[in-house]
Structure 1
Amino acid sequence: ELAYTEAKGRVTKGDRVWQIAFGSGFKCNSAVWKAMRDLRTVGDWRGNPWDDCVDKYPVSVPVSVAT
Protein backbone atom coordinates (compact mmCIF):
# COMPACT_ATOMS: atom_id res chain seq x y z
CA GLU A 1 0.00 0.00 0.00
CA LEU A 2 2.89 2.36 0.64
CA ALA A 3 4.31 1.57 -2.80
CA TYR A 4 0.94 2.42 -4.39
CA THR A 5 0.78 5.70 -2.47
CA GLU A 6 4.32 6.58 -3.60
CA ALA A 7 3.55 5.68 -7.21
CA LYS A 8 0.48 7.93 -7.18
CA GLY A 9 2.69 10.80 -5.98
CA ARG A 10 0.89 11.23 -2.67
CA VAL A 11 4.02 10.97 -0.51
CA THR A 12 6.05 14.17 -0.33
CA LYS A 13 9.23 15.17 1.45
CA GLY A 14 8.75 15.23 5.22
CA ASP A 15 5.65 13.03 5.28
CA ARG A 16 5.60 10.35 7.96
CA VAL A 17 3.99 6.94 7.52
CA TRP A 18 3.22 4.61 10.41
CA GLN A 19 3.67 0.94 9.52
CA ILE A 20 2.19 -1.57 11.93
CA ALA A 21 2.28 -5.36 11.71
CA PHE A 22 0.32 -7.80 13.80
CA GLY A 23 1.49 -11.31 14.54
CA SER A 24 -0.19 -14.19 16.28
CA GLY A 25 -1.23 -13.67 19.87
CA PHE A 26 0.15 -10.50 21.44
CA LYS A 27 3.00 -10.00 18.97
CA CYS A 28 3.10 -6.62 17.27
CA ASN A 29 5.72 -4.44 15.61
CA SER A 30 5.64 -0.91 14.27
CA ALA A 31 7.88 1.58 12.50
CA VAL A 32 7.61 5.21 11.42
CA TRP A 33 9.01 5.99 7.97
CA LYS A 34 9.88 9.55 6.96
CA ALA A 35 10.07 10.58 3.30
CA MET A 36 13.52 12.03 2.69
CA ARG A 37 12.73 13.49 -0.76
CA ASP A 38 9.95 13.99 -3.27
CA LEU A 39 9.49 11.46 -6.05
CA ARG A 40 8.86 13.77 -8.99
CA THR A 41 9.36 11.58 -12.05
CA VAL A 42 8.79 7.98 -13.04
CA GLY A 43 12.56 7.46 -12.93
CA ASP A 44 12.60 8.40 -9.26
CA TRP A 45 10.45 5.44 -8.29
CA ARG A 46 11.87 2.84 -10.65
CA GLY A 47 11.64 -0.56 -8.99
CA ASN A 48 8.27 0.27 -7.47
CA PRO A 49 5.94 -2.71 -8.07
CA TRP A 50 3.30 -0.31 -9.42
CA ASP A 51 5.52 1.45 -11.99
CA ASP A 52 4.02 -0.33 -15.01
CA CYS A 53 0.33 -0.23 -14.11
CA VAL A 54 -0.37 2.59 -11.63
CA ASP A 55 -2.26 4.56 -14.29
CA LYS A 56 -4.93 1.83 -14.44
CA TYR A 57 -5.99 2.35 -10.82
CA PRO A 58 -8.27 3.17 -9.15
CA VAL A 59 -10.74 1.46 -11.44
CA SER A 60 -13.85 3.47 -12.12
CA VAL A 61 -16.94 1.51 -11.14
CA PRO A 62 -20.14 2.48 -12.91
CA VAL A 63 -23.10 3.31 -10.74
CA SER A 64 -25.58 0.48 -11.12
CA VAL A 65 -29.29 1.02 -11.19
CA ALA A 66 -30.66 -0.52 -8.02
CA THR A 67 -34.23 -1.86 -7.83
Structure 2
Amino acid sequence: MSKAKGFKKSKTGTYLSIGTTAFGAISVVKQARTARKDHDTLRLVDAVVSAAAIVTGVALLLRELKRLGDDDVLLG
Protein backbone atom coordinates (compact mmCIF):
# COMPACT_ATOMS: atom_id res chain seq x y z
CA MET A 1 0.00 0.00 0.00
CA SER A 2 2.89 2.39 0.68
CA LYS A 3 4.09 1.94 -2.92
CA ALA A 4 0.69 3.12 -4.15
CA LYS A 5 0.94 6.25 -2.02
CA GLY A 6 4.40 7.02 -3.40
CA PHE A 7 3.27 6.47 -7.01
CA LYS A 8 1.44 9.81 -7.13
CA LYS A 9 4.70 11.62 -6.34
CA SER A 10 6.74 9.64 -8.89
CA LYS A 11 7.58 10.73 -12.43
CA THR A 12 5.37 8.00 -13.84
CA GLY A 13 2.47 9.05 -11.65
CA THR A 14 2.92 12.67 -12.66
CA TYR A 15 2.97 11.76 -16.36
CA LEU A 16 -0.19 9.72 -15.84
CA SER A 17 -1.86 12.67 -14.11
CA ILE A 18 -0.90 14.98 -16.98
CA GLY A 19 -2.35 12.49 -19.45
CA THR A 20 -5.64 12.09 -17.62
CA THR A 21 -5.94 15.85 -17.15
CA ALA A 22 -5.29 16.45 -20.84
CA PHE A 23 -7.82 13.75 -21.70
CA GLY A 24 -10.39 15.79 -19.75
CA ALA A 25 -9.69 18.65 -22.15
CA ILE A 26 -11.44 16.68 -24.92
CA SER A 27 -14.69 16.87 -22.98
CA VAL A 28 -14.26 20.61 -22.44
CA VAL A 29 -13.64 21.21 -26.15
CA LYS A 30 -16.80 19.27 -27.03
CA GLN A 31 -18.74 21.25 -24.44
CA ALA A 32 -17.45 24.55 -25.86
CA ARG A 33 -18.33 23.57 -29.43
CA THR A 34 -21.84 22.56 -28.43
CA ALA A 35 -22.31 25.76 -26.43
CA ARG A 36 -21.19 27.92 -29.35
CA LYS A 37 -23.44 26.05 -31.77
CA ASP A 38 -26.45 26.41 -29.42
CA HIS A 39 -25.53 30.03 -28.52
CA ASP A 40 -25.55 29.00 -24.84
CA THR A 41 -23.47 31.62 -23.04
CA LEU A 42 -23.64 29.98 -19.63
CA ARG A 43 -22.29 26.65 -20.93
CA LEU A 44 -19.60 28.49 -22.85
CA VAL A 45 -18.52 30.29 -19.67
CA ASP A 46 -18.48 26.93 -17.87
CA ALA A 47 -16.27 25.48 -20.61
CA VAL A 48 -13.87 28.43 -20.39
CA VAL A 49 -13.61 28.11 -16.60
CA SER A 50 -13.06 24.35 -16.93
CA ALA A 51 -10.36 24.95 -19.54
CA ALA A 52 -8.63 27.40 -17.21
CA ALA A 53 -8.71 24.78 -14.45
CA ILE A 54 -7.18 22.20 -16.79
CA VAL A 55 -4.42 24.58 -17.86
CA THR A 56 -3.66 25.41 -14.23
CA GLY A 57 -3.65 21.72 -13.28
CA VAL A 58 -1.25 20.81 -16.08
CA ALA A 59 1.02 23.73 -15.14
CA LEU A 60 1.14 22.51 -11.54
CA LEU A 61 1.90 18.97 -12.68
CA LEU A 62 4.68 20.20 -14.98
CA ARG A 63 6.17 22.15 -12.09
CA GLU A 64 6.05 18.99 -9.96
CA LEU A 65 7.69 17.04 -12.78
CA LYS A 66 10.47 19.61 -13.00
CA ARG A 67 10.95 19.43 -9.24
CA LEU A 68 11.18 15.64 -9.41
CA GLY A 69 13.75 15.95 -12.20
CA ASP A 70 15.81 18.38 -10.11
CA ASP A 71 15.74 15.97 -7.17
CA ASP A 72 16.96 13.12 -9.38
CA VAL A 73 19.96 15.18 -10.48
CA LEU A 74 20.89 15.91 -6.88
CA LEU A 75 20.61 12.26 -5.90
CA GLY A 76 22.62 10.96 -8.87
Q: TM-score, normalised by structure 1?
A: 0.28
Structure with greater proportional helix content: 2
